[in-house]
Structure 1
Amino acid sequence: MQSSSELFPVALIGAEFRFDLSEDVYRLKPGNSPDATVELALTRLGVAADRGRRGVPVILLHGSFSNRRFWYSPKGLGLGPYLARAGFDVWIAEMRGHGLSPRNKGYRHNRVSDYVRYDLPAIADFVHEQNPQAAHWIGHSLGGITLAGALGGHYLDQDRVASVALFGSQISRTYWPLKAPPVEWGGRFLLKRFSVLSGSRLKRGPEDEPIGLALESLRWHGLFGRFGDTERDWWAGLAEVRVPLLAVAAAGDRQDPPWACRKLLEQFGSPLSEFLCVGKENGFASDFGHVEMLVSKEAQLEVWPLVARWLDNTQDNVGQLKRAALERGPGVPPGQ
């Protein structure tokens, strides 16, 4: 693999112009996990006319049963192109076995823990090597959960994170039957008979998910489960995270309800945070759903501009927060 990085082998597998956009696709082979066959696809979007100029990086993480097309359609539409046209340096990651990322040897055993401990840090390091500015991170659904895990487990350097935006992401919804050990054991026994969960058969999306993710979710929601891996309690670690945080929930989302998304936000220790529920009650045209909150004509008109404004304003807000902290002096909490 020809390398375009000094960190680990990286191949530039595509460099094209798409409409008014430049699209560079990299394949990373970090070699930092027990499975040495892991390769990750990372798409970089910019405006073709400004190819030599790079703004602040924004890293987008898709949810389950999905790939980069959630953010970037073949017609050049999506939040990714929108942010690129707004002047940001946009990077779209695809998890193991999704989209342009090939399936690794141990694909069926892949877990969020692997994404958290190995893949996100590698993506962060490569993006920082290419653009040494603190990056904004945006995650939808499982992508947001993975991002929260990487922050709560302290696998991402907070000094390199400009802000975090979580869309439809939560870990607090309770599945009471799973609290009964026989039910959890039975579910685990049945799931182990499969290697993947089919997104097309389940009508959840274009991609499959490895069975390891489902088994990990059973552990999280079991009687003595916790959001974390065998080494670290990610949920407890979130209280030590200080990066600016935006959490967005959808009023019509039955999968990840607003109350649970808010609870995830409240677990963070971020002094600068904002919660938004996109629905009629808050002045939006409709009660958005889990996917429609980011992929719909209504989202293009009402949600995407809010995201761009959040990213634009974060640097100013952080500067104001730092100045206020200096004025208060050490040991004085905000608001006093």
Structure 2
Amino acid sequence: MQSSSRLFPVALLRAERCGDLSEDVYRIKAGNSPDPTVELAVTRLGLADRTQDQARRGAPVVLLHGSFSNRRFWYSPKGVGLGATLARAGFDVWIPEMRGHGLSPRNQQYRHNDVAAYARYDLPVINAFVAELSGQRPYWLGHSLGGISLAVALGSGALTADSLAGLALFGSQVSRAPWPLRVAPMNWAARGVLRRLGHIPGPRLKRGPEDEPAGVALEMLRWHGLRRRLGRARGDWRTGLAQARLPLLVVAGGGDHQDPPWACEQLFERFGSEHGQFLVLGQAQGFSQDFGHVDMLVSKAAQSEVWPLVQRWLSAPGRVLPQASLGEGLTMPAEQVKL
């Protein structure tokens, strides 16, 4: 089978119609990781009318899910979600699923997967593939762990700022953690349990539709332990964010107790971007509610208040966003979103 990429082996798994949208699913097997069995599924959303889709397709946007999640965070089987809305607005939407999530199969060393591996091996490959097929540098939007993975990739140099058109992080931070993680005996006990289990059962714990590998959780325990080691031999990846100068949007939920605004703002302040914006989604800022960790992107309120702001930023990332966009739907013709 001929590869869909000149850079590494990529197979088109399926091309289907989802209502008024098309859904092309690719599987990348780059072979750049120490684990050669890693394969990554990337879904491309567009309009079902291929002729119309090619004529309207604008800037590429990559949507990266967080922990215990998959591509359905961005669009449902009924075609509802931020990803579907952006595709209908004329953006070229790409939705990867990290190792062992959704359509990406579990690799042989699944239990050892961690953010460092995502950042070093997987995200650069996805970025290169999207840029190759779209012919443009992509925007990236990451939620929670997805946003942290992007920050690690930029801070460590695995991704360079000039390879991205812009970056948006939602509910992402590394400053706050539950206090028990900083108590050495409890931290050590949690590590022992995780090593035995090999993964965290997301559906059983009602955290989401996907499991998470133990490697990610062990990495977080190391980050939030007494020594707070956020880097390895080469140092703390956060220091490299000062060199990441690109259009930046960091969004926090006013009611997000898992990743609160003050912690998200601390990550925002690490970046050296001159075109950065920090936005809190709360009643004090003019929104209808204090948005939480998930409903900032997946809710009816987000559909009417947050999604228009995302579209507005993507169309002009240097423009300052209003604090709220109540009742303002935003539908743009393709020529306005092609950057």
| Same fold, TM-score > 0.5, yes or no | yes
Q: Distance in 2 between matches of 1:76 and 1:309?
A: 21
Q: Distance in 2 between matches of 1:4 and 1:316?
A: 36
Structure 2 matches for 1:231-270, cutoff 5 A?
Answer: 231-270=234-273
Instruction: Give yes or no for the alignment of 1:28 onto 2:28.
Output: yes
Deviation at residue 46 of structure 1 after TM alignment = 1.1
Deviation at residue 183 of structure 1 after TM alignment = 3.1
- In structure 1, runs of 5+ residues without a counterpart are 318-336
* Structure 1 partner of 2:334: none
SS in 2 for 1:224: coil
Structure 2 matches for 1:104-143, cutoff 5 A?
Answer: 104-143=107-146
Q: Distance in 1 between matches of 2:281 and 2:86?
A: 20
Residue pair 2:275, 2:318 contacting (<8 A) in 1 also: no
Deviation at residue 200 of structure 1 after TM alignment = 1.0
SS in 2 for 1:246: strand
Deviation at residue 316 of structure 1 after TM alignment = 7.0
Deviation at residue 55 of structure 1 after TM alignment = 1.0
* Structure 2 partner of 1:4: 4
SS in 1 for 2:132: helix
Instruction: Give yes or no for the alignment of 1:292 onto 2:292.
Output: no
Deviation at residue 228 of structure 1 after TM alignment = 2.9
The CA deviation string for residues 277-315 of structure 1, in whole angstroms up to 9 with x for no partner, is 111111111111111000001100000000000010126
Structure 1 segments of 4+ aligned residues over 6 angstroms from their partners = none
* Structure 1 partner of 2:324: none
* Structure 1 vs Structure 2 CA RMSD: 1.4
What amino acid is the match of 1:168?
G
What amino acid is the match of 1:43?
T
* Structure 1 partner of 2:182: 179
Q: Distance in 1 between matches of 2:88 and 2:44?
A: 13
Deviation at residue 195 of structure 1 after TM alignment = 1.3
Residue pair 1:226, 1:235 contacting (<8 A) in 2 also: no
The verdict on how the C-alpha distance between 1:229 and 1:29 changes in structure 2, with shifts beyond 3 A counting, is: farther
The CA deviation string for residues 227-262 of structure 1, in whole angstroms up to 9 with x for no partner, is 234434211111111011111111111111111011
Residue pair 1:153, 1:232 contacting (<8 A) in 2 also: no
What amino acid is the match of 2:53?
R
* Structure 2 partner of 1:85: 88
Q: Distance in 2 between matches of 1:217 and 1:223?
A: 12
Q: Distance in 1 between matches of 2:222 and 2:314?
A: 35
* Structure 2 partner of 1:39: 39
The CA deviation string for residues 113-134 of structure 1, in whole angstroms up to 9 with x for no partner, is 1100000000011011101212
Residue pair 1:247, 1:276 contacting (<8 A) in 2 also: yes
Q: Distance in 1 between matches of 2:200 and 2:18?
A: 32
Q: Distance in 2 between matches of 1:10 and 1:85?
A: 26
* Structure 1 partner of 2:54: 52
Instruction: Give yes or no for the alignment of 1:227 onto 2:234.
Output: no
Deviation at residue 190 of structure 1 after TM alignment = 2.1
Q: Distance in 1 between matches of 2:289 and 2:71?
A: 26
Residue pair 1:120, 1:156 contacting (<8 A) in 2 also: yes
Residue pair 2:168, 2:249 contacting (<8 A) in 1 also: yes
Residue pair 1:61, 1:139 contacting (<8 A) in 2 also: yes
* Structure 2 partner of 1:18: 18
The CA deviation string for residues 90-145 of structure 1, in whole angstroms up to 9 with x for no partner, is 00010000000000001111111110000000001101110121211000000000
Instruction: Give yes or no for the alignment of 1:63 onto 2:66.
Output: yes
Of the structure 1 ranges 74-83 and 228-237, higher mean CA displacement relative to structure 2 is found in 228-237
Q: Tell me the TM-score normalised to structure 2 length.
A: 0.90
* Structure 2 partner of 1:328: none
Residue pair 1:177, 1:183 contacting (<8 A) in 2 also: yes
SS in 1 for 2:317: helix
* Identity rate, percent: 64
* Structure 1 partner of 2:327: none
- In structure 2, runs of 5+ residues without a counterpart are 321-339
Residue pair 2:295, 2:302 contacting (<8 A) in 1 also: yes
The verdict on how the C-alpha distance between 1:25 and 1:232 changes in structure 2, with shifts beyond 3 A counting, is: farther
